[in-house]
């Protein structure tokens, strides 16, 4: 059954979002400078390593390039270089390139759809910013590896694990919407339409089955890879199979807005709009979501990363909407209010020993990993939101 795409949930905070927050330009610049200062300090401290996905007591331990989150650090370096023209940031980002290439060549922890996150924010970024050919080659190689995960019959990209692993076979997750820009980009770079066709079939299937009729989302969904049959939704990092994991919803907003950027199909905007309204309608007063949208009040933990990702997604979405669309202004203002709240109450400004930027993130609550901690993806998307707000931004995505 086709989803009734036109039935959108009504936006409840319309009055608040009718106006932007009252913060002066210096507020945003100070917030950006604070993050950039942290990144600069971390260049020396991190050396050739990467921050773990989540901190421990608000301090990241350092790890090798083996997790799905390595590129959030290089992405932050690229953002900081763009903003400051300080070559120390660019040099640091470029120094990681051979390691990203080696990860592909040696097949180090690459059985994941997160090749999109990994190579968009480490390699596509540098290619777009500096024309670095090595970065382009590595990103295209990553796109090829990502394509291996595409199950032709079901038309989906498997998220996790070996393709023959019966527990993970044919399982997709909403996060993958952010991995598709690597394929759209590869199609444009090479002229080979197959990357785009696979990405489009995946997002269309994800939207059809992962988005529920009330615009909440499953975190994950299984397909039978032999028959292509859609099987069932389930969660991995959310509260329950039928709840709505906050970060997943945020990935869905941003991912659909990015699929629109590459394909100009208005259906992606309608999906992003529905997901955005559901997300915005379940925020507490300070507009920073609890880790699952089933919770609208405490004592559950917030997930500042979901807030930062949603802010970026809302900015991408609002800029894509026609000028006459009333949601254009509402979504932009919502993004500004959310980011202002993060800047006011969710940074490590009062925790100088922290090497993170945003506090109160949740990596994996059911798995008891990184609960009420800094997350390196939260840091990255907070910086991206600030860069978008302060000086506008051409996405690496
Ligand atoms: N993509 C995994 C996560 O958001 O935790």
Convert the pLDDT of each residue in 332-356 to its tens digit. Answer: 999 999 999 999 999 999 999 999 9
pLDDT, position 1: 40
pLDDT at 3 over 60: no
Q: How far is the CA of 175 from the centre of ligand 1 (A)?
A: 6
Please identify which of the residues 105, 137, 144, 175 carries the catalytic annotation.
175
Residues 6+ apart with CB under 8 A from 388: 312, 315
**Residue 224 among the catalytic residues:** no
pLDDT, position 9: 84
Mutate to test the pocket of ligand 1, among 53, 120, 251, 252 (most ligand atoms within 8 A of CB): 251
Q: Which atom of ligand 1 is nearest to the CA of 53?
A: 5
Pocket of ligand 1 (CB under 6 A): 175, 237, 247
pLDDT, position 6: 56
pLDDT at 2 over 70: no
Q: Which atom of ligand 1 is nearest to the CA of 364?
A: 5
Mutate to test the pocket of ligand 1, among 52, 68, 217, 253 (most ligand atoms within 8 A of CB): 68
Q: Which atom of ligand 1 is nearest to the CA of 114?
A: 1
335, 316 Cβ separation under 8 angstroms: no
Quote the percentage of the chain above a pLDDT of 90: 97
Q: How far is the CA of 385 from the centre of ligand 1 (A)?
A: 18
**Residue 114 among the catalytic residues:** yes
- What is the pTM assigned to this prediction? 0.98
DSSP code of 369?
A: E
Confidence of residue 5 (pLDDT cuts 50, 70, 90): low
Residues 6+ apart with CB under 8 A from 17: 11, 280, 330, 331, 333, 334, 337
Please identify which of the residues 67, 114, 327, 372 carries the catalytic annotation.
114
Section 366-394 average pLDDT:
98
272 φ, ψ (degrees, to nearest 5): -60, -40
Q: Encode pLDDT of 145-155 as tens digits.
A: 999 999 999 99
Nearest CA to ligand 1 atom 5: 363
């Amino acid at each position: 059954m086709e989803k009734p795409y036109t039935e959108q949930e009504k936006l409840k905070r319309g009055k608040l979002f009718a106006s932007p927050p009252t913060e002066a330009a210096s507020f945003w610049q100070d917030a950006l400078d604070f993050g950039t200062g942290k990144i600069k300090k971390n260049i020396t401290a991190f050396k050739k390593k990467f921050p773990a996905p989540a901190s421990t007591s608000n301090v990241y331990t350092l790890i090798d390039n083996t997790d799905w989150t390595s590129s959030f650090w290089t992405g932050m370096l690229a953002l900081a270089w763009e903003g400051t023209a300080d070559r120390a940031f660019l040099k640091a980002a470029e120094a990681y390139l051979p390691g990203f290439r080696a990860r592909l060549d040696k097949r180090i922890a690459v059985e994941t759809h997160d090749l999109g996150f990994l190579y968009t924010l480490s390699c596509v970024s540098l290619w777009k910013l500096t024309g670095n050919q090595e970065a382009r080659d590595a990103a295209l190689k990553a796109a090829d590896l990502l394509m291996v995960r595409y199950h032709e019959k079901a038309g989906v990209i498997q998220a996790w694990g070996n393709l023959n692993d019966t527990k993970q076979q044919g399982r997709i997750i909403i996060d993958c919407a952010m991995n598709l820009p690597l394929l759209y980009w590869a199609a444009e770079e090479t002229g080979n339409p197959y990357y785009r066709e696979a990405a489009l079939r995946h997002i269309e299937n994800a939207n059809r089955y992962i988005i529920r009729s009330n615009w909440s989302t499953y975190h994950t969904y299984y397909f039978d890879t032999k028959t292509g049959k859609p099987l069932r939704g389930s969660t991995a990092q959310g509260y329950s199979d039928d709840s709505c994991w906050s970060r997943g919803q945020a990935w869905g907003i941003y991912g659909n807005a990015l699929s629109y950027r590459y394909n100009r199909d208005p259906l992606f905007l309608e999906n992003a709009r529905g997901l955005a309204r559901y997300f915005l309608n379940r925020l507490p007063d300070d507009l920073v979501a609890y880790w699952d949208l089933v919770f609208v009040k405490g004592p559950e933990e917030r997930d500042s990363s979901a807030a930062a990702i949603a802010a970026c997604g809302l900015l991408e979405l609002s800029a894509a909407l026609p000028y006459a669309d009333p949601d254009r202004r509402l979504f932009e203002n919502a993004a500004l209010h959310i980011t202002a709240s993060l800047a006011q109450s969710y940074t490590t400004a009062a925790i100088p020993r922290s090497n993170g930027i945003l506090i109160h993130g949740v990596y994996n609550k059911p798995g008891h990993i990184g609960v009420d901690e800094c997350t390196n993806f939260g840091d990255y998307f907070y910086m991206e939101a600030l860069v978008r707000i302060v000086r506008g931004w051409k996405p690496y995505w």
